[in-house]
Amino acid sequence: MKETVIKTDQLSKRFGSFIAVDAISFEVQKGEIFGFLGANGAGKTTAMRMLCGLSVPSSGTAAIAGFDIYKKTEEIKRNIGYMSQKFSLYEDLTVLENISFFAGIYGLSNSAIKEKSEALITRLGLQKEVKKLVGELPLGWKQKLSFSVAVLHEPKIVFLDEPTGGVDPVTRRQFWDLIYEASEKGITVFVTTHYMDEAEYCDRISIMVDGRISALDSPSALKTQFKAATMDEVFYELARGAKRGD
């Protein structure tokens, strides 16, 4: 049975006369890896902030993990995980302190924190680094740790905002292994990226242009639809018509 974890209907956000997000409607299923693409300024960040319960929509409806986007924002925040390239972990706390801190924020019990942090540290091979400050870790490790912390409370959905920007190609792929593992456990992954090869790793992708969703399908269906050999060409075909930049 399919279970819908994100459902939006005509969701919009206006700032004065500027329509940042213009009536977007889509659904994402449980365990799906959903790529959320778009040119700079297309409205991705604004849309994502609404879906995370951080910004009140101007009109339209949406339910995230079954919770209404207007009335149940606190429940939404408890049922999602979030990481971005900019904000991830506290640099001046150690690896273990960061894990305990975020697990505590999400209300995990002390015994659950202990058990989960041990599993996480083993999975990432960070046994020797547990007492190191996160600021001393290489960027790639930080990003992998940050993702693992974002899914530690087993959220229904994890939102990833350009999680692999600037990361080396080997680490980038290790990061995607973590995404696949989370998806196999039933966690829905909602991810933005500027790497078009990563768009191929998603089950389905949407491409936003000027506040609207211009295309939404699996990567192979989109390539067929736009008679393109690569996702890069699909993106180019759609986004070159964009009227606005960021």
* 234 Cβ contact partners less than 8 Å away, ≥ 6 residues apart: 207, 215, 222, 223, 225, 226, 228
Q: For 30, list phi and psi in degrees, rounded to 5.
A: -55, 135
- Selected range binding another protein among 4-12, 18-26, 106-114, 166-174, rule: CB under 8 A: 166-174
Of 75, 118, 197, 217, the one binding another protein by CB under 8 A:
197
d(CA 130, CA 116): 14
Q: Binding to another protein by residue 175, rule CB under 8 A?
A: no
Q: For 205, list phi and psi in degrees, rounded to 5.
A: -135, 150
Q: Which is nearer to another protein, 59 or 220 (CB)?
A: 220
- Selected range binding another protein among 9-17, 19-27, 70-78, 178-186, rule: CB under 8 A: 178-186
Minimum CB–partner distance for residue 172 and another protein (Å): 9
Q: Binding to another protein by residue 163, rule CB under 8 A?
A: no
Of 17, 184, 227, 243, the one binding another protein by CB under 8 A:
184
227: how many CB neighbours lie within 10 A of its CB? 9
By rule CB under 8 A, what count of residues binds another protein? 41
CA dihedral sign of residues 86, 130, 154, 190 = positive
Positions in 122-151 near another protein (CB under 8 A): 136, 138-140
Positions in 40-99 near another protein (CB under 8 A): 40-41
The DSSP bridge pattern shows strands 80-84 and 33-38 to be unpaired
Q: Binding to another protein by residue 235, rule CB under 8 A?
A: yes
Q: Binding to another protein by residue 240, rule CB under 8 A?
A: yes
> What's the Cα-to-Cα distance from 175 to each of 124, 170, 209, rounded to whole Å?
10, 9, 27
Q: Binding to another protein by residue 166, rule CB under 8 A?
A: yes
Residue 224 Cα to chain centre, angstroms: 26
d(CA 53, CA 203): 24
Q: Which two structure tokens, joined as six digits, stand for 77?
A: 């925040």
Of 29, 162, 212, 228, the one binding another protein by CB under 8 A:
162
Q: Which parts of this chain interact with another protein (CB under 8 A)? A: 38-41, 136, 138-140, 162, 165-171, 173, 176-177, 180, 183-184, 194-197, 200-201, 219-220, 230-232, 235-236, 239-240, 242, 244-246
